[in-house]
Amino acid sequence: MPNKAKVLLAEDDTSLAFVIKDNLEEAGYEVVWCSDGEIAWQQFQKNDFDICLLDVMMPVKDGFTVAKKIRQKSDIVPVLFITARSMEQDKLDGFKSGADDYITKPFSMQELLMRMDVFLRRTKKMHFEKAHEYSLGRMRFSFADLKIYDGDKVTPLTQREADLLNFFCQHLNKVLKREEVLLSVWGKDDYFLGRSMDVFITKLRKHFKEDPSIVLETIHGIGFRLNA
């Protein structure tokens, strides 16, 4: 875990918030605790956080709203929801709002710490990863710039789109198993993350629709293959 990683903790249950805060600080994190979503959003704009832990049901602004605002400002900072809600639609809404993962109360602090560590290591790797550029048909993909270039047309990508496309480009014209993509890009093979991945696959296909030589193919029952 990065030394003194800074955590935004948004939780209106004071008792639970103190338990989480104490445990995280004991584990070496710096924690900024907010008791409602509006305060959390204000704090996010003032500080550089390494990871955000958001409760879903909060006063003033709920977790979904805060996550969407965070994603408008940053595609890189990991967002984990901490919530008592475990309905399928709630999880899907969470991922749609920009969450990277979802942990349901009650949970062990060890589980939370492990999940946070996974995302922080991945973020650190992203910052130091060597810049890559790939030629795809008539297009050029720059992982460092988060952009696809097609002549004079420039298409910006979110960090997640770029991560996914970068993985496909590293294995161009090869069949990749669905679970392999999830584990490599999301860090976890999970039904709800799989639904989220399908949304990003659709977005990538739209970026390539003007060049028929680039095909992001679904291999039914197995996974995907980026042909170019």
CATH number, domain of 110, equals 3.40.50.2300
Q: Are residues 24 and 104 in the same domain?
A: yes
Instruction: Give pTM, 2 decimals.
Output: 0.58
> Mean of the pLDDT values across residues 105-122?
86
In percent, how much of the chain has pLDDT > 70? 93
Residue 158 lies in a domain: yes
Tens of pLDDT, residues 66-102: 999 998 888 778 899 888 766 666 677 778 788 888 8
Q: Are residues 112 and 206 in the same domain?
A: no
30, pLDDT greater than 90 = yes
Residues found in the chain: 228
Task: Dump pLDDT digits (tens) for 192-211.
Answer: 888 989 999 999 999 999 99
Q: Which residues contact 84 (CB under 8 A, 6 or more apart)?
A: 57, 104, 105
Structural domain count, the chain? 2
Long-range CB pairs of 86-91 (<8 Å, 24+ gap) are 88/192, 90/56, 91/192
> Do 124 and 144 have their domain in common?
no
- Do 124 and 178 fall into the same domain? no
Domain that includes residue 160, residue range? 133-227
- 82 and 195 in a single domain? The answer is no
Last residue of a domain, which of 128, 150, 183?
Answer: 128
With a cut of 50, say whether residue 2 has pLDDT above it. Answer: no
Say whether both 70 and 17 belong to one domain.
yes
User: 63 and 121, same structural domain?
Assistant: yes
